Amino acid sequence: MTVGGIFGLYSKGATSVRCRRHQMDAKLRKTLDDFPKFSVSQLTRVGTDSQGFTRFELNGEFDRLVQPQGQITWFWLLIGDRAAVCAQWKSVGPGNVATVTADEKEMPEIVGKTLYYLSPAWDARHIWMVLDDQWGWKRVLFQAVDAVAEAFEATDISIVDGREVKTWTKLSRADKCKSTERYAPTLDDTLVSGRPAQLVPGGWDHEHCQLCREHINNGDFGYRDEDDHLLCESCYDKYVKHHDLSFVDDL
């Protein structure tokens, strides 16, 4: 056999392996079509409150068994084009027939359409940020910024690690570029509400990945969108690059 023949066989074999691997990856990738589906057969307006929100009742049928998760009675119904409604269970009948409600100021035309069920463990934006090619992710280096710490006394006592806690510390970014705040038990119980806020140099030293919630620490690279949401490199590579929604099951 010639050298060319050997390389030809190797090339064909390698291509075959890559094809099989690609097919396996494609099977493992979760798409929106893999989510439980709710086909809307009827939409009824029940009433409108003083703030302009209308209670809508959606009658329809799920394509598989979907039930409330414990005491949590709400969930998302994804419509598409970055649209979703926050729905509440009203009744579930035989054959996966269900009636759900949603309080919205406006409701798009959804009768006869199929909506996608998303667990309340996730936010609808998590789906769109993975699927949308135009979401605007940019790779950035996270760097710590100064933080403002303020002690305050809560109304109720909480139990943290077996200890009664009533005094907490609120930590926020000093540059105010994000509205996110963090709360932690104050180690010194003598610190009470009314103490002047303190500047903590470099105190805002990490962010959380929107999907896996792992720390993105000072000096780590991640991906930031236009609304200042961050993803770690691992989640970006695994989910966003491949438009893979399997994080709803993995994480």
pLDDT for 191-206, tens place per residue?
Answer: 555 678 889 999 999 9
Q: Which of 195, 215, 193, 219 is nearest to 206 (CA)?
A: 215
**Global pTM exceeds 0.85:** no
- Stretch among 35-49, 84-98, 117-131, 161-175 having the lowest mean pLDDT: 161-175
Question: Is the Cβ–Cβ distance between 169 and 189 less than 8 Å?
Answer: no
pLDDT for 13-39, tens place per residue?
Answer: 544 544 444 444 555 899 999 999 999
* 3-class DSSP state of 229: coil
Mean pLDDT value across the chain = 86
Q: Is the pLDDT of residue 157 over 90?
A: no
Annotated domain spans of the chain: 32-121, 128-140+205-251, 145-203
Element (H, E) at 6: helix 3-28
Fold topology of 128-140+205-251: Wheat Germ Agglutinin (Isolectin 2); domain 1 (3.30.60)
Fold topology of 32-121: Elongation Factor Tu (Ef-tu); domain 3 (2.40.30)
Element (H, E) at 5: helix 3-28
- pLDDT (average), residues 171-187: 82
Confidence category of residue 3, pLDDT binned at 50, 70, 90: very low
Exposed/middle/buried for residue 17 (C-beta within 10 Å: 0-12, 13-18, 19+): exposed
- Given this model, what pLDDT does residue 56 score? 97
Question: Is the Cβ–Cβ distance between 86 and 76 less than 8 Å?
Answer: yes
The percentage of the chain sitting over the pLDDT mark of 70, rounded to a whole number, equals 85
